[in-house]
Structure 1
Amino acid sequence: GLGVTAIAYLWWRKNRWQLRQVGTVSQLLIYPIKSCRPVSVEEAECLELGLRNGELDDRHWLVVAEDGHMVTGRQEPQIVLIDVNRHGGSLCLEAPGMEKISVSFSLPKTNKVLDCRVFGTDIQGRDCGDEVSRWLTSYFQSSQPYRLVHFEPGVMKP
């Protein structure tokens, strides 16, 4: 046991971690809404659940179908054309042929909490309201309603 420890120590001492540049970050992108266009940022915090820049958290907003399953470019390819930006205290969505729509970063706590399914994992997200739901449903030209939900750490159904 002691011999193995001594050999390991000698190897570690010889091959100690040394910092060296292995790449250069040329652009930081945050995807506030899963599968929509990214937002380019100058800096970001690295958190347990992804990047953050101000109110923008990476993939904390999600488009879901009526049954709560996430919607990606596989189900609705035109979702990748939705531009997402921030303006003041709101998340702004723009898409071809659609008027711009804004959703407040501070959603009312009275908005419903919906059960959602993301890659086989059950989560909950706060519904962003009927106005953005109508916008998404119209954009996807669907008879099935779509909802935008926001993941809030610690959110629980009342």
Structure 2
Amino acid sequence: MPVLSAITLYPIKSCAGLSLQEATLTSLGVMSAQIYDREWMVVDHNGMCLTQREHPRMALIKPTLKGATLELRAPGMLRLEVPLGLPDPATAPTLTTHLWEDTVLAYDCDALTAEWFSQAIGVPCRLARFHANAARPVSTKWTGGVQATTMFSDGYPILVAGEASLQDLNQKLLAAGRQALPMNRFRPNLVIDGIEAFEEDYAESYLIGDVLLKPVKPCPRCPMPSIDQDTGQFGPDPMDIMQSYRAKPEVDGALCFGMNAILLAGEDQHVRVGQEIEVTLAF
């Protein structure tokens, strides 16, 4: 029987994740302690999103839950504590952020936080938090018309990957004299064990207790899987190996690993590592 083998929440887009034993699944993605996946995002002075693609040191910014704060650490930096309580929408400073084609209202974090991130990453930047009055719909082109929203994820609220898919890729890497890669190179929220390699590509739905997830779009990979999440440096690049068998014509030949998913039922239900999953295939 397939099981949920890992849960990861990424509080800040493109920074390190929080490995969890249990979490709440919502229409906006994974949530724990009232923190949503990719609820925060680092932006430049124009509000443009910064990611590991251009700033791989972002991988070294590691969050920890500490009571009412999100504690952040980075090499050579004093720790930073970001309050978890939502600002007052009526009085809190805001800024306009830009993520791909979307323009999103966000709270502007304080100057001390901006200075900390600027030093940690090495470029002037600020930390933005998804605004309580903001909404970011996903493209219904892939959802079959189902309406869904997300925060600062690339496109969809939940990313699912299979353990066997990584094992398959690693076998090919090892056969080519390369190093095997950990799953964190691909930054999924949910990892499934007990299905065949890339079976997640062909799933119609995943049922985890009362939670019903629908995979909607293969996840095209940018250069981020070549970034070592432990060192913040470009390491062994799997993209050339993936080129031989992971190009997907339905996304214009992009190399894909994992499936973007949306929540169909089970809002605010809890899931846990080790929980059984009923996988329904789309054929």
TM class by smaller structure: 0.7 to 0.9
Q: Report 1:1-158 matches (<5 A).
A: 21=1, 23-109=2-88, 110-142=91-123, 145-155=124-134
Distance (Å, rounded) in 1 between the aligned partners of 2:59 and 2:122: 15
Structure showing greater Rg: 1
Query: What are the superposed Cα offsets for residues 86-142 of structure 1, whole Å, 9 maximum, x if unpaired?
Result: 111111110011110001012543331110011221111101111110001112233
SS at match of 2:5: coil
Long gaps (5+) in structure 1: 1-20
More strand by proportion, 1 or 2? 2
TM-score for both structures, normalised by structure 1? 0.78
Distance 1:108 1:56, change over 3 A: closer
Query: What are the superposed Cα offsets for residues 21-64 of structure 1, whole Å, 9 maximum, x if unpaired?
Result: 3x221111000000111001121111111011112210011111
Q: Which structure is higher in RCO with an 8 Å CA cutoff and minimum separation 6?
A: 2
Long gaps (5+) in structure 2: 136-283
TM-score for both structures, normalised by structure 2? 0.45
User: Which residue identity does 1:89 align to in structure 2?
Assistant: A
